[in-house]
Structure 1
Amino acid sequence: MNPVELKSPDEIALMRDAGRIVCEILDELEKAVAPGVSTWELDALAEQLIAKKGARSAFKGYHGFPGVLCASVNQEVVHGIPDRKRRLVAGDLMKLDFGVVYRGFFGDSARTVPVGKVTPEAQALVDATRQSLEKAIQVMQPGNRIGDIGHAVQSHVEARGFSVVRDFTGHGIGRKLHEPPQVPNYGQAGSGMKLRPGMVLAVEPMVNQGTPDVEVLEDEWTAVTVDGKLSAHFEHTILISERGPEVLTRRR
């Protein structure tokens, strides 16, 4: 197993900058989500904002991905490709998954934005997914374990009748977008690697209304629920510090 890289204070300072940029751009993208807007227009806005911040995209060109934004709608779980023809309508769930590289370090975050008024069932899914990430962050204390993170997510969403996607996980992050360790959104409390100060993890619950099973479309990127039901996604980049978790991609 590859070793987990513990970040130095100087590296953490740069990761705070990267995380702040991600948060600020996601705030602008969230404001731009509205009926009639295309996912391509959101991607173009993200690209403009990245340039203004003096950063570069974490996603564009990564294994050939064509956008700076993973733009997934409704039953699309993750890795949706921005499309000029895909225009949002009221009631949609728009998942904005976004990252940058700044001075050699990555930041990565995602949020699910309801488009106009959504059904109570859709809102319940969004709320449960957001809450599950907050539950996960609470347990990210030094000395706790990777399994505690997944258990916090899984127990929260399954108690509300939803399911956790198992095909994708969170991950370490730093000089690379994806570093060890993997951080599943399910698991047994008290299991797995011990959390240590200096670890930086991207934790990203993906939660489905129905079955947890997903399939990847012919574009070889877009993952969708096999039953066509809704999915929600939230993500933060989180530092394990001596004092506990510090969310680097949240407005301070």
Structure 2
Amino acid sequence: MNDEIYDQYMSAGALAAKVLRRGADMVREGGSILEFVETIEAMVVDEGGQLAFPFNVSLNEDAAHDTAMPGDDRIFSRGDLVKIDLGVHLDGYIADTAMTVDLGDHASLVAASRSALEAAIATVRPGITAGEIGAAIQREIEVRGYRPVSNLTGHGLGRYDLHAGSNIPNVGIVGGAVIEEGMVLAIEPFATTGSGRVAERSRAEIFRQVSTKPARLPSAKRILDVARKSRGLPFARRWVQGDKVDIGLATLLRSQTLQPYPVLHDMPASFVSQAEHTMIVTGDGCVVTTR
């Protein structure tokens, strides 16, 4: 990593942190989820950044990968536990950050994921293993009486690559990748009142192009135009203009041109909290880009 790349990561992180803080203040009972998502995404662009993925808003037992649907009429309700997850990039250098906004009585659960993230950050340094970071996360969550989500992980970041290198587990494992100076990591503990494992819903609003194949349908071509502009990063169904988008998506999914990101959820009536920062590993620790 040279100084120019370091500065790009730091600038992306500062922008992501600024917009996410503004977003947290906008989550209010009765507010439109669609208007909220579109406002935050527009704010990133207006501030000179680009979206690394569609702005995620996941409620209650849903942990990740939810975003507004076209014409979405959902609103925030009293008691909701709202995860907001934002990815910003500058020339492909990504900042990924998330927090949980509590519209109910979930302060302890929110604190569990936040404290686990701080414990992970304090653990990061060259030579430590991903499994040791996961153990620090697990301890902080379990001591508060909750479960870490064991099948969600943090991840390395690369240029135009949201999942570069090794995963960072949310539970202790033996070994795992050895952390090295210069790595860029997004660590994201999830704490839950549920089972500690997430499953896929049937609904997906987020997609990524994973292969290049010809498309005949006009709607499929429009989708691929959006995918190409995303440079291999995920995009949302609502970003595609025109009609018959669902038909185009179905065609591209059948041909395995696109990968879907279904909404991930724990058991019904449970609650999941999330906290996330991006960091650059230094010689004796790390620098958090998204404070």
Q: CA deviation at 1:46?
A: 1.1
Is the CA contact 2:37–2:67 (under 8 Å) kept in the aligned structure 1? no
For residues 224 and 146 of structure 1, what CA distance do their matches in structure 2 show?
24
- Please point out which of 31, 35, 38 is paired with 2:29: 35
**3-state DSSP of counterpart to 1:101:** strand
Matched-pair identity in %: 32
- Please point out which of 33, 43, 52 is paired with 2:46: 52
Is the CA contact 1:211–1:227 (under 8 Å) kept in the aligned structure 2? no
- Tell whether 2:35 aligns with 1:69: no
For residues 146 and 10 of structure 1, what CA distance do their matches in structure 2 show?
27
TM-superposition CA deviations, 1:109-139 (whole Å, max 9, x none): 1100112xx22xx211111110000000000
- Tell whether 2:139 aligns with 1:164: no
- Tell whether 2:171 aligns with 1:183: no
Alignment match, 2:88? 100
Q: CA deviation at 1:81?
A: 2.2
Alignment match, 1:199? 183
**Post-superposition, which runs of at least 4 consecutive aligned residues in structure 1 deviate over 6 A?**
none
Is the CA contact 1:15–1:174 (under 8 Å) kept in the aligned structure 2? no
RMSD: 1.4
TM-score, with length taken from structure 1: 0.87
For residues 210 and 48 of structure 1, what CA distance do their matches in structure 2 show?
34
Structure 2: give runs of 5+ residues left out of the alignment: 205-261
Alignment match, 2:256? none
Alignment match, 2:242? none
The structure with the larger Rg is 2
Q: CA deviation at 1:184?
A: 0.9
TM-superposition CA deviations, 1:165-217 (whole Å, max 9, x none): 1222111012012101111111247x222222111100001111121122211
Alignment match, 1:64? none
Is the CA contact 1:93–1:114 (under 8 Å) kept in the aligned structure 2? yes
Structure 1: give runs of 5+ residues left out of the alignment: 1-6, 60-67
For residues 170 and 244 of structure 1, what CA distance do their matches in structure 2 show?
17
Number of equivalenced pairs: 231
Q: CA deviation at 1:52?
A: 1.0
Counterpart code for 1:69: F
Alignment match, 2:289? 248
For residues 234 and 43 of structure 1, what CA distance do their matches in structure 2 show?
18
Alignment match, 2:11? 17
TM-score, with length taken from structure 2: 0.76
Q: CA deviation at 1:82?
A: 1.5
Counterpart code for 1:104: G
For residues 2 and 185 of structure 2, what CA distance do their matches in structure 1 show?
15
